[in-house]
Each structure stands twice: as C-alpha cells, then as structure tokens.
Structure 1
Amino acid sequence: MNSLLDSKRFHFNWLVLSFWLFSMVILGFIILPLIEMLFEQPLDMIVKAAQMPDVTNSILLSLEASFITAIIAVIFGTPLSYILARTQFPYKSIVEAIVNLPLAVPHTVAGIALLFVFGKTGPIGHITERFGISFWGTIFGIIVGMLFVSSPYMINSARLGFENIDIRIEKAARTLGATNSQVFFHISLPLAFRSILSGMVLTYARSIAEFGAVIILAYHPETAPVKIYELFLTGGLKQSSAAAVLLLIITISTFILFRYLTNLNKKA
C-alpha cells in the first residue's frame, strides 16, 4: 500500500515538474521582452522622454480616456452581465457571441467599422455633429475605439461574478418580500462587486494599450501608443523605446494600484 502511494506521489511530482517547465517557458516569453527593454534603456533617455510635452500629454490622454472607458463599461456592461448570468431567453448564444465578437475582430477593422457609424457621415456621427460633438479626431472617438475592443473583459468578468452567487440567496430574499431591484442592489451587486471591479481594471488596462481602432477613428489627439508608433517611424527604436518604457512604468504602476484596491475589497 505504501509503495503504491509512493509511486503515485512520484508520478504526480513529475507531472507538476513538467507543468512548471512549460509554465516557465510561457512566463519567460511574456516577461523577458519587457525586462530587456527596461534594462537596456538609459535612465537619462527616460527622463528626457518625460520632459517632452507631447509624450506626457499623450500618456495623460491615454490614462484619462481609459478611465472614462472603464466607467462607461461598468455602467452599461453590468446590466447585460446580470441578464446573461441569471436569465434564459431565445437566441442567448447569439448575444453571447456578439459580446465576444470584438475579441475576434482585427482592431484596424474595428476602427474602420466604427468610422462608418461614428464618422462625420455615419448615422450617429452625423447626428452628434449637429450638437457640436465629433468623434473624428477627438477624445470621444478615442473612448469609442477603446470601449469597443475592451468591453468584453468587463462583461465577462462581471458575468462570472453574478454566476458564482448562490441563486438560493436571491430566492430567499424574494420569499422574504424583497423586490427584484432590492435583491439586485443589496445582494447581487455587493456580492459580485469584486468581479465587477476586476472587469473594470482589465478594461482600463486593455484600453490603455489600444492602438488599431484608435488610430483609425481618432489619429489626433495622439494617445500614448499612437505617439510611440509615430516616434518609432520618425526617430527609430532609440527614441520610441524611451517613451515606451515611460508608458510601461506608468501603466504598470496604475495597474498594480488598481489590483491592490481589488485585493483589499476581496479581504474585506
């Protein structure tokens, strides 16, 4: 009996070891280029990039637009997440496919498609132009591009949060006289809040990195990825990498901060 247990433990250890070896390959693939870029870039070049107004303005614009995008995704994505998690309706699978469609569409294609709707001659863009709101070449266009590509992260994360709530808790509250609105705002929403917050953080992070849809819909004002691409075309790798490292430091710092706040909520 002991020999059988030892044999199983031996095989299990080898399985875990092999999994770790494969894991180290993919983890190294992700982290190695970032580390190499960070250590190869002189500090004075990073400081010089931070002193360039156009670079800092583009980074601030990316942070602002990404935060607004995340807020919009929470407001409009949370209700859809709850519907997908708690209700059954005809063609639900089609709605789920639509939610995940931006993950499969090339982002330059997404930008062109958005231009047909939000451009000056598009059905929405033409109407908003009458009220002085233009999506072409404005922060509104940047937010639209970011929202299109990042909304699935918010919706899917919040949906998982609602699905993980024991439905018997909601049913018990209704039997005690609570309305559907009371159940949602006082039970479902607080219990799924951490998943919603995680979705918001992922949406924020994905929005900062967006390039393809934004550059088609709103090349100017330049977001950080667009500015870095322009620097790469005009000044080569040396100049663009300094701005890239600066953006990387700022985005990782804000991402860690938001993740820390999410973990605080988890412990609470």
Structure 2
Amino acid sequence: MRELSGFAFNSWMIISAALVLLFIFGPLAKMISAPSWDKMLATITDKQVLASVRLSLTTAGTASLIAMLFGTPLAYLLARNDFPGKRIVESLIDLPIMIPHPVVGIAMLSIAGRGNKFGELLDSLGVQIMGTSTGITCVLLFVGMPFYVNTVKAGLESVPQRLENVSRSLGAGPGTTFFRVTLPLSWRYMLVGMIMCMARAISEFGAVVIVAYHPMIAPVLMYERFTAYGLAWSQPVAVLLILVSMAFFMALRMISHPSGYKK
C-alpha cells in the first residue's frame, strides 16, 4: 500500500470531519431557522409546551440521579473484579441500547400493567407506573442506565488500583478507600455518565408513548403536534427543546471539564 503524504492525510482528515459536521449541523440548522418569530414566540409562551419540556428535563434528571446511586456500585464491581459470567452481565447491561424502543415500553407494560401481580403489588403500595411521571422515569432509567454504567466503568478502570491498595495497606476500609481515593479521581466520569444518561433519556419516544402518553414529555408533544397540525407547529417545539438541552449540557460539560479535555 502506498504511503500517504502528510498533505493527503491531513486533507482526508479535514474533509471527512467537515462532511460529518455538515451532515449533523445541516438538518438541525435548517430546522432551527425554519420557524417564524411569531410561531417561536407562541411556542415559548405556550404553557403546554413549557410543561412538556420541564417534564422531559425533570424525569431525565431524576433517571440520571437514580442511575448514579445504583449504577456506580455495579460499575465498580465490573471495573475491579473478574468473575464467571462477567461477559454475560456486561451484555445484559448493553441490551437496552440494542433492542427496539417500543420493546422497552412493552416490557414495562408486561411487568407493571394491569392484571400483573407485580403491577397489583405496586398499586397496593400507591405506586402508579402506567400513565404517570413515575412510569416515564422508569422508562428513561431503563434506556439511560447502560450509558452511565459503561462510562463510569471506563473511568474507574483508569484509576490505578495500586492507589487503592496503598490506602487499604494504611488501614483504611473499602468504603473509606472508595470515598477518599477512588471517588475524587473518578467523579468527572460519573458526571459525564450522568450527562450521557440524561441525554439518552431526553431523546426517548418509542417506549414512553406505550407506558405514558400522558403526561406528555416534549418528544411526545412534538409527535402529537406533527400528526395534528403538521411540520410548521412541531418544529418550534423541537427548536425549543434543542436550545434548552444544548444550554443545559454545555453547562454540565463545562463543570465536568473546566479546562478542556486533558490526558
């Protein structure tokens, strides 16, 4: 194979990067510039739209917090231990990424719907899954958890285990070692994992419409307005959600990497 010159290689890299960015930015730029100012103003002041965006952010944020609380121990176990069936566990964690989105909603409906013993148990405890924000949070947690666990697992693996061994040799217990050594060195990965989990959760649609069409999150509201009124009235909702999400995630990125990405 002929050796690529430096100019040819750099040109290939720049052109490829430009094409990818154009592919992503082009449709988004067209959609953002399409709505008129009157429609955008009407959308921004629409209480139903604001409520749907707020619900999307709160349920996705709640899902990411739950992922942090329960996904961190799992990520730590996977990062620090080898055991029989580990590959099966890792594949099981990745499964929500691969399966079609409506399957997630049907699975939730199967376990928590009416006529199911577990669903009846939840009802007796006053916990409603179907048609509630609780159900939406469960769905978003299901689809977002793999992103959190995988991100934090990679971060924990980057922390030298010898530092934990030194802490243990000095008399610190496993809990103290985790909170005083491991956590300070990996908390940025946890924050990035929460960002990834929340980003995936905000975009979910197929599973949510099965579990809870109402109350409406922003993607469901966009779909309803598209089917009822067409593209002209669904675009402003999409633009508002993009702008809110972009501002939110840029702020979190600045917190997690205040000086940029460093190796």
Q: Does 1:89 align with 2:70?
A: no
> 2:229 is aligned with what amino acid?
G
Which protein is richer in helix relative to its size? Answer: 1
1:213 matched residue in structure 2: 207
Distance in 2 (alpha carbons) for counterparts of 1:123 and 1:256: 43
CA distance in 2: counterparts of 1:17 and 1:266, whole angstroms: 26
User: 254-263 vs 97-106, which deviates more?
Assistant: 254-263
Deviation, structure 1 residue 201: 0.8
**In the alignment, is residue 247 of structure 1 matched against residue 241 of structure 2?**
yes
Q: Distance in 2 between matches of 1:136 and 1:62?
A: 16
Give a deviation string over 1:191-236, Cα, whole Å, max 9, x none.
1100000000111111111101111111110100000000000000
Q: CA deviation at 1:266?
A: 7.3
Which residue of 47, 51, 59 maps to 1:53?
47
The equivalent residue for 2:16 is 22
RMSD: 1.8
Q: Which of 251, 255, 263 pairs up with 1:261?
A: 255
The secondary structure found in structure 1 opposite 2:82 is: coil
Once the two structures are aligned, what percentage of the paired residues are identical? 37
- Paired residue type of 1:221: P
TM-score, normalised with respect to structure 2: 0.95
Mapped partners of 1:197, 1:257: distance in 2: 12
Query: Could you state the TM-score of these two structures normalised by the residue count of structure 1?
Result: 0.93
SS at match of 1:121: coil
Per-residue deviation, 1:16 = 2.5
Q: Partner residue of 2:96? A: 102
1:157-172 → structure 2 map (5 Å cutoff)? 157-172=151-166
CA–CA separation in structure 1 for the residues paired with 2:7 and 2:164: 43
Q: Superposed, which structure 2 residues align to 1:117-128 within 5 Å?
A: 117-128=111-122
Question: Which residue number corresponds to residue 168 of structure 2?
Answer: 174
Residue identity opposite 2:160 in structure 1:
D
Specify every segment of 5 or more residues in structure 2 that has no aligned partner in the other structure, as ranges: none
| Residue 12 (structure 1) aligned to one of 2, 6, 10 | 6
8 A contact 1:194–1:265 mirrored in 2: no
1:175 to partner: Cα distance:
1.3
Equivalents in 2 of 1:109, 1:243: separation in Å? 26
| 1:151 correspondence with 2:145 | yes
SS in 1 for 2:129: coil
Q: Distance in 2 between matches of 1:180 and 1:24?
A: 48
Q: CA deviation at 1:37?
A: 0.7
Matched, 1:133 2:127: yes
**Residue identity matched to 2:154:** L
Letter in 2 for 1:42: S
Out of 143-152 and 42-51, give the one that drifted further. 42-51
Paired residue for 1:43?
Answer: 37
Question: Would you say 1:76 and 2:70 are equivalent positions?
Answer: yes
1:42 deviation in Å? 1.4
Q: Deviations over 1:15-58 (max 9, x none)?
A: 13212212222221111111111112212211101122111111
The alignment status of 1:198 with 2:212, answered yes or no, reads no
Measured in 1, the distance between the counterparts of 2:112 and 2:25 equals 37
Shift of 1:124: 3.0
Which stretch shifts more, 119-128 or 200-209? 119-128
Asked if 1:115 corresponds to 2:104, the answer is no
Q: CA deviation at 1:121?
A: 2.9
Ranges in structure 1 where 5+ consecutive residues have no aligned partner: 1-6
1:236 aligns with 2:230: yes
**Distance in 2 between residues matched to 1:126 and 1:192, nearest whole Å:** 40
By how many angstroms is 1:125 displaced? 2.1
| 8 A Cα contact 1:194 1:266, kept in partner | no
C-alpha separation in 2, matches of 1:80 and 1:265: 29
Distance 1:114 1:172 in 2: 45
Q: Residues of 2 paired with 1:17 and 1:123: CA distance? A: 62
Q: State the alpha-carbon separation in 2 of the partners of residues 162 and 122 from structure 1.
A: 39
8 Å CA contact retained: 1:120, 1:134: no
